[in-house]
Amino acid sequence: MYILQFSTMSDEERQAAEEKMINDEFQALLNDYLNSNHRRKVDIITKAFNLANEAHKGARRRSGEPYIMHPLAVARIVSREMGLGSTSISAALLHDVVEDTDYTVEDIRMMFGDKIAQIVDGLTKISSGMFGDNVSAQAENFRKLLLTMSEDIRVILIKIADRLHNMRTLSSMAPAKQFKITGETLYIYAPLAHRLGLFAIKTELEELCFKYEHPDIYAELTRKIEETAPERNKIYEHFAEPVIKALDKMDIQYEMRARVKSVYSIWKKMEAKGISFEEVYDLFAVRIIFEVTPGMDEKKQCWDIYSAITDIYKLRPDRIRDWLSHPKSNGYQALHLTVMGPDGKWIEIQIRSRRMDDIAEKGFAAHWKYKENRVEEDSELDKWIRTIQEILANPNPNAIDFLDTVKMNLFSSEIFVFTPKGEIITLPQDATALDFAYRIHTRIGDHCLGAKVNHTLVPLSYKLKSGDQVEILTSQTVNPQPEWLNFVTTAKARTKIEASLRRQKRRIAEKGKVMLEELFNNEPIDNNVMTKILNYYKVEKREDLYYLIGNNEVVLPESPDRFYKIKETLPKSENLFMKYMKQAMSAMKKSSVETSPIVPQSDSNKKNISSSPAVDTKEVYELKEERFKKNFIVAPCCKPLPGDDVFGYINDRNEVEVHKRSCETGIKLKSNFGDRIIAVRWGDYHQYSFLASIAFTGIDRIGILNTILSKLSEDVVVNIQSVNVSSNDGIFEGVINVHVHSVEDVNLLCSKIAKVDGVSTVHRSLI
């Protein structure tokens, strides 16, 4: 838009137009701020804008617009969509000044004071290198982000606003860069926004990721949502008419509206359940937002509205969600219920006060608006930040494992369980008895022997359910074991177990070191001799050798003479030079076939593949049929087919590993290994076939399988690998594994099966 508007202007006209655009955007920011309930500190915001505007003068974004438009946009998100005040707005305007210009944090401190300087410093630390080229640096910077967040939550709020604006302007980036950024966003930023209660921002981040990763599916689902709007409106109007009459009689101020699910959440449901768009029954939810009547209890008003609705419509008891008495850990409060509407459709209803709605949309930032009366509402966020601080106090040395550990607790649903004394404990969905033990105290977790759930003895791995009462049994003779890591789902428990196991390993290694030194009469061990010992026991590091000795996994000889007698010979495996020469000779023989460049895979090569990439990461890589299994492979985790939305990842063997863009493993790769991600494009496949799986269900009848198989073989020869069908109480379930050339082949086969009388559902599934 900017380029189209200004490309025909002279330099003077363009400069004047840009200045007007910048000043208009700044005035819009001030209007956002003045329309809030914050104190009127316009002077400091204006001062921050003037400095940022001067510092970024002449710089442009990739889209072509002046760079200052980015900090202005971030500041507007911080003000209008998060509800933050002058300190955060000023820090947002200045968030790139220290990183991109000659100004220092000390300069910011001198001009704006300690608080703004501290926030800008935190943003600078996590921005320079956050999710950069070096994988360890990526996780290390995320660790910095969390550390800074625990000091001032506004750092991460501004960082999320920064990411949201980058996502809104992602179209100007190259495809490979887009995949990297969407991967980071889905892996870290959307879960962080969710945990901080920024529901509207979390939803938009997911929608934008989906739009860039699956543009065709996004467009198709958007079209279907628009096409079905009249039918939904009719269902809503039939439902709303008697409810409005009932609420009007209660003499309360309220608004009621239907809110359609996001395109991303609809698609996720379709993928998870293997259903079509038409089979998603809960496309929209009804939201009732009321103003609290002075002198009335807001929770009681929620239940009064609930009572009025259930007097009209039949309730579905298993779908009640009471987040009033026990808010979610991100502060979310509401009362959810599902009723059978007049058109025979289940309708979900969310009942909230205006305060609850503010917190649901703007998260903990909105708490500050109500803080005078409801300080206790911040307690759940404080608990989460304390958990983060505990993880940071005992970080996993492996940076990526650390990232995963924190990620575990960012996006989890919650359950409520009770201690023997009746205290309520909040835990993530699928938390176990061992998670509960570590939630109570680290010492209780470390010595956990078992548990009693509802007075019944259960193992450590027992998964808890909401309402369970849990008592932990301990013994001082019990210590954490490696298999315990398979029993936990919370970040705190995993961190504490890993820290304990590392301490145990260090103690055993110390014991092993003493045993080895005693063998040599406590005399220094020559480096050559130590190398011989390591080779003899086939161990790479001294610490690993000490651990094996201390743990009695290797037996030392009675005398050190045994080691002196070992001859210095080359290891049986080929050395690096010979290995490289063999690879080179092999490559020369295959010179008629296009292959990846072959490099000796030293340890440093394995850690940083970007030093010798197989392909040009800036170009779109063609997935040609003749290259398959030579230059690229399909990932076994998601098994993409030609026609799927995919991206490429350059693995340690210099192969292009092709993943679906929606693949969970792929999302992790995109967020952690940005320098190895490339854009790819399918070629035509006529000879090579891929194995695909089609699942179907329906009403059982004699000969239905024969009907399905004959339908599949109509017009085309189908290479079926296997068929598995089972029947129970008149319902059958079947899976056909078949060789295909593309997604189109799968869709064609699915449509044929769907036409068979008695088949109710059919979809492609993972093998």
For 293, phi then psi, to 5°, come to -70, 130
The tokens for 739 are 């060789």
Question: Residue 323 and residue 360: Cα distance in Å, rounded?
Answer: 11
Backbone CA torsion sign across 337, 305, 371, 360 = positive
CB 340 within 8 A of CB 309: no
- Given the residues 25, 100, 107, 282, the one annotated as active site: 100
Instruction: Look up 107 and say whether it is catalytic.
Output: no
Instruction: Look up 100 and say whether it is catalytic.
Output: yes
The tokens for 164 are 């949201």
Q: Map residue 390 onto helix, strand or coil.
A: helix
CB 167 within 8 A of CB 205: yes
The tokens for 593 are 């076939």
**H-helix segments, 65-187:** 69-76, 86-93, 97-100, 105-112, 114-127, 135-151, 154-168, 175-184
Distance of alpha carbon 98 from its chain centroid, rounded?
29
The continuous run of DSSP H or E covering 231 comes out as helix 229-249
How many CA atoms lie within 13 Å of 389's alpha carbon, on the beta-carbon side? 12
Burial 331-362 (b: 16+ CB within 10 A, else e): bbbbbbbbbebeeebebbbbbbbebbbbbbbb
- How is 256-280 classified by DSSP, letter by letter? EEEEEPPHHHHHHHHHHHT--GGG-
CB 423 within 8 A of CB 436: no
Question: Residue 88 and residue 81: Cα distance in Å, rounded?
Answer: 13
Q: Map residue 658 onto helix, strand or coil.
A: strand
Three-state SS across 399-444?
HHHHHHHHHHCCCCCEEEEECCCCCEEEEECCCEHHHHHHHHCHHH
Question: Residue 134 and residue 670: Cα distance in Å, rounded?
Answer: 13
- Residue 676 DSSP label: G
CB 473 within 8 A of CB 452: yes
CB 184 within 8 A of CB 142: no
Nearest to 652 by CA among 668, 673, 670: 673
- Given the residues 13, 24, 99, 518, the one annotated as active site: 99
Please give the torsion angle defined by the CA atoms of residues 250, 255, 261 and 265, in that order, rounded to the nearest 10 degrees: -80
Q: How far is CA 136 from CA 91, 397, 403, in A?
A: 28, 10, 10
Phi-psi region of 228 (alpha: psi -120 to 50; beta: other; left: phi over 0): alpha
Q: Which residues are catalytic?
A: 99-100
